[in-house]
Amino acid sequence: MSRVLPILFNTEMVRAILDGRKTCTRRVIKPQPQSRLCYTYAGGNCGTWGYPSKTAYENWGDEYKLPEDITDEELKRRWNPPYHTDDILYVRETWQCWRAHRYEATADIRFRAGGDDVRLQFANGNTDSINRLDYDTFVHKWFSHYGEWKQSLFMPKEAARIWLKVTDVRVERLQEITEVQAKAEGCNSGLITGACTARGQFEDLWNSTIKKPDLDRYGWIIEFERCEKPEGV
């Protein structure tokens, strides 16, 4: 059975998903596969300390394998990616509950990235019942009394409008991203930053939101496609 999990995107990346420009995302692997130092021979009788290498794991075992030499099953067992193939993801984005109707038991959700509002329908709307517990709980917690935007981190699943299905998970060194892959990340030359290429834009965006040194590390490459909200979720 597919898992249902949240995933965060900033406003620009949400717009890229809505436009159909973004079909994958990258997340740093923690802990890094190459974080363990091992003793390797540089030649002759001279030994040096270095990062895991193919020679190292052939000599001393699987714990020194590089990511590209590790099977998908080994990756899941040893580093456990945050998302697996066929997982269903709901996108958390910056939002606000800007209007609510208690008799109808509805709440209207607006999104900073733009697009159509979403109307949430709670139980017992348009009836004489005074029991609107789900509605009252949601509005009491989330209504934007002063028009303030709510952080994406705290977006509840009920308010999500974008649903994704994971189609592939693999590992790559983040700095090895190609121009084509950068475009699949939603980066188009000149649209987001001043960089002249999609790859340059990706680097600018990464450095603005993630620790810059992380770009030299291994990361999970998570590919996805848009899907409908699953029934019963």
For residues 144 and 166, state if they share a domain.
Answer: no
Gap between the Cα atoms of 107 and 118, Å rounded: 8
Which whole-number Å values give the CA distances from 90 to 7, 9, 13, 137, in the listed order? 6, 10, 14, 21
Domains contained in the chain, number: 3
For residues 62 and 118, state if they share a domain.
Answer: no
pLDDT at 208: 74
| Under 8 Å between Cβ of 183 and 198 | yes
Q: What is the sign of the dihedral through the CA atoms of 126, 131, 134 and 139?
A: positive
- Residue 147 lies inside a defined structural domain of this protein: yes
Q: Give this prediction's pTM.
A: 0.80
Task: Assess whether pLDDT exceeds 80 at residue 6.
Answer: yes
Q: In whole numbers, what is the pLDDT of the chain averaged over residues?
A: 81
For residues 42 and 26, state if they share a domain.
Answer: no
Mean pLDDT calculated for residue range 175-194: 79
For residues 149 and 206, state if they share a domain.
Answer: no
- Residue 54 lies inside a defined structural domain of this protein: yes
User: What would the pLDDT profile of 67-103 be if each residue is shown by its tens digit?
Assistant: 556 666 666 676 788 999 999 999 999 999 999 999 9
For residues 119 and 170, state if they share a domain.
Answer: no
Of 159, 124, 164, give the one whose Cα is nearest residue 144. Answer: 159
Task: Assess whether pLDDT exceeds 90 at residue 143.
Answer: yes
Range of the domain at 57: 38-69
- Residue 233 lies inside a defined structural domain of this protein: no
Mean pLDDT calculated for residue range 28-54: 49
Mean pLDDT calculated for residue range 162-187: 90
For residues 129 and 177, state if they share a domain.
Answer: no
pLDDT at 35: 41
